[in-house]
Amino acid sequence: MSWHDPARSSEPESETALRNELRGLLGIPAQPLNYFENDPSPELILLADDLRREAQRRKHTARRQSSWLLLAAALPFTLALAGVGVWGIAQKHKADRLTAAVVHQEAEIQQLAAAQQHQVPQSPAADAQQLRVQGPQPKGQQPRALLMGQASPKGRPKELVIPVQRSPDFNPNNNESVKTH
Amino acid sequence: MEPLKTPLVPFGDSHEFHDIFASLYPRLVSYARRYGATYPEDIAQEAFVILMQRDSPVDHPTAYLYGTVRTLSLTERRPLKNQSISLEAVVEPGKGPDADDDLLSQEVRERMKALSPTFRETLWLFVVEDLSIRQISEILDIPEATVKTRIHRAKAHLRNQLNSSGGLHVLA
DSSP secondary structure, A85-118, as one string: HHHHHHHHHHHHHHHHHHHHHHHHHHHHHHHHHH
B21 touches chain A (CB under 8 A): yes
Look at the pTM and tell me if it is higher than 0.80: no
Average pLDDT for B98-124? 76
Q: Are residues A58 and A81 in the same domain?
A: no
Nearest-CA distance B3 → chain A (Å): 7
Question: Could you read off the pLDDT of B51-94 as tens digits, one per residue?
Answer: 888 888 888 888 999 999 999 998 886 654 444 554 554 444 33
B110 touches chain A (CB under 8 A): no
- Pair (A24, A37) in one structural domain: yes
Domain that includes residue A21, residue range: 9-62
CB of B52 less than 8 A from some CB of A: yes
* Residue A140: predicted pLDDT: 55
Predicted local confidence at residue A108, as pLDDT: 95
Return the pLDDT at A2.
46
Residue B2 has pLDDT above 60, yes or no: no
Query: Which segments of chain A have a pLDDT < 50?
Result: 1-2, 35-36, 145-147, 149
> Per the domain annotation, does A78 fall within a domain?
yes
Nearest CA in chain B to A47: B45
Task: Find the closest chain A residue to B20 by CA distance.
Answer: A3
Q: From CA B37, how far away is CA B118, in angstroms rounded?
A: 18
The answer to whether A49 contacts B131, with C-beta atoms less than 8 Å apart, is no
Whether residue A106 sits in one domain with residue A70? yes
Name the H helices within chain B.
14-34, 40-53, 61-77, 87-91, 96-101, 106-114, 117-123, 133-140, 144-165
Residues A14 and A46 in one domain: yes
Per-residue pLDDT, B67: 93
Q: Specify if A124 maps to a domain.
A: no
Assign B172 a pLDDT band (cuts: 50, 70, 90).
very low
Burial of B119 (0-12, 13-18, 19+ CB in 10 A): buried
In a domain, A33, yes or no: yes
The domains of chain B are located at 9-83, 90-172
**Total domains, chain A:** 2
Same domain, yes or no, for A58 and A16? yes
Residue type, A43: E
Are B10 and B58 in contact by the 8 Å Cβ rule? The answer is yes
Rounded Cα distance between A33 and B129, Å, is 8
A8 vs B: CB within 8 A: yes
A73 and A37 fall within a common domain: no
Q: ipTM of the assembly?
A: 0.71
**Contact at CB, A1 and B57, closer than 8 angstroms:** yes
- Shared-domain flag, residues A39 and A23: yes
Architecture of domain B90-172: Orthogonal Bundle (1.10)
Radius of gyration for the alpha carbons in chain A, expressed in angstroms and rounded? 60
CA neighbor of A56 nearest in space, from B51, B47, B59: B51
In a domain, A137, yes or no: no
Instruction: Give B4-54 pLDDT, tens digit per residue.
Output: 444 455 666 778 788 888 888 988 998 998 888 888 999 999 999 998 888
Q: Domain check: are A49 and A83 in the same one?
A: no
Q: Does B147 touch chain A (CB under 8 A)?
A: no
pLDDT at residue number B101: 55
CB of B33 within 8 Å of any CB in chain A? no
d(CA A28, CA B172): 12
Q: Closest partner residue to B107 among A2, A27, A51, by Cβ?
A: A27
The CA distance from B92 to A41, in Å, is 32
- Rounded to the nearest angstrom, the minimum Cα separation between B114 and chain A is 12
Mutate which: A1, A2, A3, A60, vs B, most B CBs within 10 A: A3
Touching check for B8 and chain A: CB below 8 Å? yes
A57 and A16 both lie in a single domain: yes
